[in-house]
Chains A and B, each alone.
Chain A
Amino acid sequence: MLKLKNLEAVYNDIILVLRGISLEVPKGSIVAFLGANGAGKSTTLKAISGLLEYEDGEITNGAIEFDGVEIHKKQPQDIVRLGITQVPEGRRVFAELTVEENLRVGSHTQQKNTNLRQEMERVLNYFPRLRERLKMQAGFLSGGEQQMLAIGRALMAKPKLMMLDEPSLGLAPMLVTEIFDIIKKINTEENVSILLVEQNALMALGTADYGYILENGKIVLDGPCNELITNEDVKEFYLGTGEGHDRRNFAEVKHYKRRKRWLS
């Protein structure tokens, strides 16, 4: 469904952030996209959403394909219309608008004659907590509710692919579980493919079907999640459950010698 082919991106004409990323999100699946701070995860999502040019960035090489159509030269609003929505990092709900208005903005790309009430009901069924707060200003919601609103707002656009940028950011563990359960539910019930960017690797690998690990703008490892979760390197660097009880020299770490990725 979504295919990134050897994508390269720069900021300010010189800072190379993505050095050839290839990944694929098959229809109906959940794909996890892991990596440390500054690895380039959010940049990848911005590139897909067409936002790079507005942040002084640029795609210098490679291509992004969605359902066989090249989208990396399209404008953000056209990409949303094709069926890709993004739930941005830090939620970014419209704080001064009410919950209801936020959802209305989410349906901006829909035809004018769609039944707004009905659409809203569909979305609110996933987030019963928001229903009680429809008339409330979104800025007064708790962090978890704001995250739900951000997801709900993206869902209003009837996406085929939803990209979530760190939905667990700043949330209590119990809420994180709740949010991930909802994401899974949306994936199966609405048949929405999901690209999940996370730092909470355990949670993400537990939810997704397939995973990619990004470091310094390059994909260093990929595989089905059940394989990744048992991978020694992943265990040590992302899950913190490696067997290295004795301290290791920093120079020795991060080789990824077990498997090289020749694709790009």
Chain B
Amino acid sequence: MDYQLFLQLTLTGLAWGSVYALVALSFVLIFKATDTFNFAQPEIMMLGAYIGFTLVSVFHLPFFLGFVLTMLIMAVLTALMEMMVVRPLVGEPMLSIVMITIGLAYVIQGFVGMTWGYEEFEYPSPFPTDPILFGEVVISQAELYTIICTAILLVVFFLFFKFSSSGITLRATAEDTTAAFLMGINVKRVFTGSWVIAGLIAAIAGTFLASFTFVDPKMNFLALKALPAIILGGMDSVHGAIIGGLLIGVMENLAGFYLEDYLGSGINEITAYVVVLLVMMIRPYGLFGSKEIERV
């Protein structure tokens, strides 16, 4: 086997996997904190990419300023979404809340289509386009920076959850809402906070994804690969989501190349789901999830 090709495929896979991992992380964060699943997360990612695109390409802001502004706008938007869409339903059955997030997903999709139309745009990628050579391994700078930035981001989040007061508060609320109330934690604020953080992570993922593909109203489907990543890693496990995302990215890239000759093209599209099916047969609660898990 040509190991350089293998390395190349793995690196590209890791870059895609980073995006899946970030989206998966944003799903898990909301699931852990509020005990409900927000199916609008891929659409929130898409919205982040579109807003960034508009600020930089249409209003000609410098990329970094545009990015920071995007984050601010996304923080406000996700906070509003949580307060207006989900909060009135707190205390209702989980299924009702899940349904309303699916509704929210369609609303965002429609909004994106209405505002920006349905054609693809090229994202003003901040990364230089000339690829980097490691020996004979070629990697695009967008992919390389995606991997590096994701790694940094994940470390920052790990430290945040482990040591900061807000992080510990969030984990406590995630584990037991009633007990959190009794500690004097403002649970509503924590819920909104988890939506905001998840929205920011998703928007960052959108920025990366858009810089090695395009901005188009179908990019939410790419982010849906985060779902097999979550199931693979275990729905309530943060590091599971990350490892699941990376694994799926790498596996679909490798499978797409090595298995294409035997199984036909398009194998990379379904790899993630096949792997999840296999894992579910052996460990129904995912690789890292806790055994008692609610069904969505």
- Which residue numbers of A lie inside 8 Å of B, CB to CB? 49-51, 54-56, 75-77, 79-81, 85-86, 88, 92-97, 101-102, 104-106, 108-109, 153-154, 157
Contact = CB atoms under 8 A, between A and B. Distances in A.
A85 B187 CA distance: 16
Contacts of A95: 175
Given A88-B178, A94-B171, A55 B183 contact: no
Interface in B174-215: 175-187
A153 B181 CA distance: 13
B172 interface: yes
B176 A80 contact: no
Given A54-B90, A55-B91, A76-B182, A108 B169 contact: yes
Nearest to B165: A104
SS class, residues of chain B in contact with chain A: helix
Contacts of B172: 94, 97, 101-102, 105
Given A56-B91, A104-B165, A49 B179 contact: no
Contacts of A157: 183-184
B151 interface: no
Contacts, number: 74
Nearest to A105: B172
Nearest to A106: B183
Size class of the B contact interface (CB-based, 8 Å): 20 to 34
A51 B168 contact: no
Nearest to A150: B179
A49 B182 contact: yes
Instruction: Across the A-B interface, give the 9 residue pairs with the lowest CB-CB distance, nearest first.
Output: A80-B184, A109-B184, A76-B181, A92-B179, A105-B172, A77-B184, A77-B186, A94-B172, A94-B175
B91 A54 contact: yes
Contacts of B184: 76-77, 79-81, 85, 108-109, 157
Contact of B178 (A51, A75, A105): A51
Q: Among B90, B91, B176, B184, find the residue whose CB has the most chain A CB atoms closer than 10 A.
A: B184
Given A54-B181, A108-B183, A94 B91 contact: no
A163 to B, nearest CB: 9
B168 A105 contact: yes
Nearest to B186: A77
Given A92-B178, A94-B176, A153 B91 contact: no
B98 to A, nearest CB: 19
Nearest to B184: A80
A80 B179 CA distance: 12
A155 to B, nearest CB: 12
Residue of A50, A81, A96 most packed against chain B (CB within 10 A): A96
9 contacts: A49-B181, A51-B181, A54-B91, A55-B91, A77-B185, A92-B179, A105-B168, A105-B169, A105-B185
Interface in B193-242: none
